[in-house]
Each structure stands twice: as C-alpha cells, then as structure tokens.
C-alpha cells in the first residue's frame, strides 16, 4: 500500500557555494509559495566567507503558519557535489533529491572544503551501507532507503537556453542553474508554474531578459522532473487567501518590531571584506 499524498507540508533545502545564487533561488522558491497562498519560513546558513564556501537555505511551506524550521528535508535541490555530500542524509525516506548526473563519479576526497570530521563521518556512513565514496554511491544509499532520485542534466539544459537566447558563452548564464533546480523542485511537487513565473518577475523586475531566460530553463527542468517522478508523495497546491499578508526577511521583521516598540534610531558596524 503506497503512502498517502502529503499536501502543503514541505521541508525544502537548496545549497551551493556562496556567491552562486543560492539566496536568489531560495527567494524565488519562497515567493512563489507565498504567491500561491502558502505560509513560508526560511533559515539561511552561510560561512564567514565572501565566495566559495558552502552555504544553504532551508525552507518550510505549509497551509498553516510555520513558526520554526526542522532538520528533516523532503526535497533536496542541488546542482553541485558538496551540497549532496553534506545534506543527502537529511532527506526523509519518502523524500527526493534533485541532482546533476554528471557528478556521480565525484569522490568525497575531491571536495577540499568538507571538514575532516564530517568527511570521516560520511565515510563511516557509506561503509555501513556497503557502498564506495562517490556521489553515485551516496545516491545509491539514499535510493536503498526509498529516496526518489531526480537526475537533471543541467549542462544540456543550459546549452538549450544558450541556443534559444543566442548566448555565446555558458558562463554568462551559469546562475540559471539555480533556477533549474527550483523549477525541477516545483515540477516534482506539481506546483503551479505560474507562481514561479510571477516570483521571477518580482525578484528580477526590470530585467525582462533575465526573467525570460530563467523561466524558460525552469520550465524545462519542471517538465523533466514531473515526467521522471510523476507520483511523488509530496505536493504543493495553491491556497485561496483573502486577507493581506506580508513576505518579510528576518531583518525586515526585526526592524518593524523595533519601530513598533518605539525605537527611533540605531547604528550598526557592518562587516566588510
């Protein structure tokens, strides 16, 4: 007997090197959910580093108010190897992993930014599952416990976008890969793609070409993911809302709270490179 479909109760995570657009992709995902009437709650995790070190964004979407994050992940959206090594074990047995099949031969030892203690822990985990130390082995261990694997050929999709929009260098559209991961996530979840399109238009307003490129790529990934795993247990559906609602970052919410509490002036010393 297959498990019941779980609607509008999701934990989603995306990760990647700092400076690669993780924050923007999470912003698009969250805004799309909010535009569809869902409540969202996100947690941003990053290192004290400008570019290169691993960072991630965990987000919950629910029909009801969400007041905290959870460690378990239902959908892990990745486009590079380190996020897979760091977070694959957190994916629930009935969850899914979006990944690039070109990375399956990447070994744990190929990722210099993974701490020695974590690397040792991962090796022990992989050995306990009777597999080796590659991404392919890690995914095999996930599949053994029921996780759905969603291979998205990011390079092929980027090539298609480059041709459609007459881009001569893939490096110019490298960040589109983040939106491919978001699009694949929404396809897997069966969420209305129009919500993602609206979110892209909000996040990248006044940049019509950027919106169109990202939307075109995300749609391709959306369709592919939906065809690969048509019966995924988790679903996101739009919810009709009449009351006005706010989409806020933690900083914005804190600032509004301080103003409401009577604060009129505050200074900060910002961290600088």
pLDDT digits (tens, 9 = 90+) for 160-207: 999 999 988 877 788 899 999 999 999 999 999 999 999 999 999 889
Using CA atoms, how far apart are residues 239 and 140, in angstroms rounded to an integer? 36
CB 150 within 8 A of CB 60: no
**Which pLDDT belongs to residue 169?**
83
pLDDT digit string (tens) for the chain, length 273 residues: 567 899 999 999 999 988 888 999 999 999 999 999 999 999 988 776 666 788 999 999 999 999 999 999 999 999 999 999 999 999 999 999 999 999 999 999 999 999 999 999 999 999 999 999 999 999 999 999 999 999 999 999 999 999 999 988 877 788 899 999 999 999 999 999 999 999 999 999 889 999 999 999 999 999 999 999 999 999 999 999 888 889 998 888 998 999 999 998 888 776 655
CATH, residue 48: 3.40.920.10
Parallel, antiparallel or unpaired: strands 91-99 and 9-17: unpaired
Average confidence score pLDDT of the chain? 93
Q: Which domain holds residue 82?
A: 6-243
Residue 93 CA to its chain's centroid (Å): 18
Among 140, 77, 76, 85, which Cα is nearest to 107's?
A: 85
Rg, the chain, Cα only: 19
Rounded CA-CA distance 90/76 in Å is: 9
Give a yes or no: residue 1 inside a domain. no
The answer to whether residue 148 is domain-embedded is yes
Q: For residue 149, give the nearest of 78, 80, 74, 98 by alpha carbon.
A: 98
- Helix/strand/coil for 23: helix
Asked if the structure places residue 272 within a domain, the reply is no
Q: Is residue 221 a part of any domain in this protein? A: yes
Q: What pTM did the predictor assign?
A: 0.93
Which pLDDT does position 49 carry in this prediction?
A: 60
Rounded Cα gap, residues 245 and 165, in angstroms: 36
Q: Does 257 fall in a domain?
A: no
HSE-up of 190 (CA within 13 Å, CB side)? Answer: 13
Query: Measured between alpha carbons, how far is 160 from 179 in angstroms, rounded to an integer?
Result: 14
The Cβ of residue 18 has, within 10 Å, a number of other Cβ atoms equal to 18
Q: How many domains, in total, are found in the chain?
A: 1
Residues 6 or more apart whose Cβ sits within 8 Å of residue 118: 86
């Amino acid at each position: 007997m297959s498990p019941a479909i779980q609607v509008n109760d999701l934990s989603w995570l995306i990760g990647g090197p700092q400076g690669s657009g993780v924050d923007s992709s999470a912003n698009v995902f969250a805004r799309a959910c909010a535009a569809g009437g869902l409540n969202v709650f996100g947690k941003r995790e990053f290192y004290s580093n400008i570019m290169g070190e691993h960072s991630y964004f965990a987000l919950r979407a629910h029909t009801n108010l969400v007041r905290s994050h959870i460690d378990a992940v239902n959908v892990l959206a990745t486009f590079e190897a380190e996020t897979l090594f760091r977070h694959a074990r957190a994916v629930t047995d009935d969850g899914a992993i979006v990944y690039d099949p070109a990375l399956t031969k990447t070994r744990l030892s190929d990722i210099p930014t993974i701490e020695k203690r974590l690397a040792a822990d991962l090796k022990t985990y992989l050995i306990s599952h009777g597999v080796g130390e590659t991404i392919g082995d890690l995914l095999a261990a996930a599949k053994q416990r029921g996780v759905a694997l969603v291979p998205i050929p990011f390079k092929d999709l980027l090539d298609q976008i480059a041709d459609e929009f007459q881009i001569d260098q893939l490096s110019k559209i490298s960040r589109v890969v983040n939106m491919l991961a978001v699009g694949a996530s929404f396809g897997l979840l069966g969420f209305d793609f129009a919500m993602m399109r609206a979110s892209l238009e909000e996040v990248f307003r006044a940049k019509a070409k950027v919106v169109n490129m990202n939307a075109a790529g995300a749609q391709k990934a959306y369709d592919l993911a939906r065809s690969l795993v048509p019966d995924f247990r988790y679903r996101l559906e739009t919810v009709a809302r009449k009351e006005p609602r706010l989409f806020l970052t933690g900083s914005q919410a804190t600032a509004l709270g301080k103003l409401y509490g009577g604060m009129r002036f505050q200074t900060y010393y910002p961290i600088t490179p």
